[in-house]
Amino acid sequence: MKKLKVLVLGQLDRALAEKLNAIAEIEYVDREERLPEEQIKSLLADKDAVISEPLDTISSAVMDSSKQLRVIANRAVGFDNVHIPDATQRGILVTNTPGVLDAATADLAMALLLATTRRICEADRYIREGKWTGFQNDLMLGPDLWGKTIGIVGMGRIGKAFAKRARAFGLKIIYTRFSPKDKIDSQLWGDYDAVRVDLDDLCKNSDFISIHCPLNSQTKGLIGQAQLDQMKPQCVLINTARGAIIDEQALVSHLVNKKIGGAGLDVFADEPNVPEELLKLDNVVLVPHIGSACFETRFQMAESAVDSILSAFSGQRPNHLVNPEVWNERTQNELAQVKSEAR
C-alpha cells in the first residue's frame, strides 16, 4: 500500500512516530548541522510533507524542486527559516508550534537575566580555576533585580510569560509591542502594572531588556547602534528570540567597550557562529539556542507538528497555520486527493 511520504528532520518520539506512521511513510534525517540546500532538495523531491526545525532553511529553491510538497510543519514557534511568501504562492501550508513553549522560553530568559546579573557562569569558572580564597565582601557583586525596571520588547505569549516571572522578581515592567493599542494593553496594566512605551523610551529607561518578538522584516536589526547607544551603561540585554533582531556587530562593540552592562544570549545572527569577541567577555552568558529545550515542551512541539500534518491530510484545518490564506477549498481538495491516492 502506498502511503504519504514525510521527511522528519531531527528525531521523533516513538509514540508520535507511530501516530504519523498510520498515514505516512517516514524518512528520518537526524542531522546535527545545517544540511546543504542540494541535500534538502533531494530529500524533499518525493515528499508530501516535512517536519522541519530552525536549523533547516526551506528556501524558494527548495520549494521549487519539491513538486509534491504540500505541508511544512515547522517544529518551532519562529518560522523565519521558511520563506513564507513563496510557500503561500505555491499553495504549501506552513504550520508552527505556538503556545507550548512559552513557559520554557520565559524561564530561560529569566535564567539568563539572573546568570548575567549575578555572574553565575563567571563565578563557577572562578571556583573551577581554583581562584577562590574565601568569603570576600566585594566578590562577584552584581545589580539587584528587585525594584529595577525591565523593558520587554514584544508582548506576545512568551513576552507575557516573561512578564509574569519578572513581576515575581520585583521588577517594574515597561514594554513595547507592534500592534495598535488595544485591550491587551489594559490587561497588561491590570495584571502586571506594565506600562506601554515606545522603543526609544524603553531603551533609555530600562535597567534590563529582554527581547520576545518574532524575527521578520519589521524587526530585523530592531536593536541597532542607535538603540544600544540609548541604553544605560549598566543595562543587561537578554535575547531568546532571534539573533538578527539585534545588530550583532553593534552589540559586540558595545559589550567590548563596556557601553552596556552585559548580555545573556540564546540566539545569534548566524548560528552556530558566535562572534569571537563574545567568548572572551565575562559579562556575557552564552547558550546554544535552548529556549524550548525541556523534555515535555519539546514533546509537545513535536506533537503539534505531527498533528498539523495529520489534520491537513484529513481535511481539517491545522491549529497553527502560518499562512491561513492557503487553507482554501482548492487546497483541501488537493490534499484529500493526495491522501486518497496514497491509500
Contact string (CB under 6 A) for ligand DGY, positions 40-79, x = contact: --------------x---------------------xxx-
Residue (292 or 311) nearer to ligand DGY, CB: 292
Here the cell at position 179 is: 500592534
DSSP at 81: T
Catalytic residue of the set 25, 53, 271, 277: 271
Q: Does 269 bind ligand DGY (CB under 6 A)?
A: no
Which is the catalytic residue, given 119, 177, 289, 298? 289
- DSSP states of 266-317 as a string? S--TBTTB--HHHHT-TTEEE--S-TT--HHHHHHHHHHHHHHHHHHHTT--
Sheet with 284-286: list strands edge to edge. 195-196, 172-176, 149-153, 208-211, 236-239, 262-265, 284-286
* 10 lines the binding site for ligand DGY (CB under 6 A): no
Task: Report the residue count for the chain.
Answer: 343
Q: How many helices (H) and strands (E) does the chain have?
A: 14, 12
Q: Is 289 a catalytic residue?
A: yes
Which residue among 50, 94, 100, 101 contacts ligand DGY (CB under 6 A)? 101
Task: Based on the shown chain and the rule CB under 6 A, indicate whether residue 292 belongs to the binding site for ligand DGY.
Answer: yes
**Is 81 a binder of ligand DGY (CB under 6 A)?**
no
How far CA 38 is from CA of 60, 62, 65, 135, in Å, comes to 12, 8, 10, 58
Give me the catalytic one of 119, 242, 298, 320: 242
Instruction: Identify whether 83 is a catalytic site residue.
Output: no
Does residue 95 bind ligand DGY (CB under 6 A)?
Answer: no
CB of 122 to ligand DGY, least distance (A): 26
Residues 162 and 159: their CA atoms lie apart, in Å, by 5
Q: Which residues contribute to the site for ligand DGY (CB under 6 A)?
A: 54, 76-78, 101, 291-292
Residues serving a catalytic function are 242, 271, 289
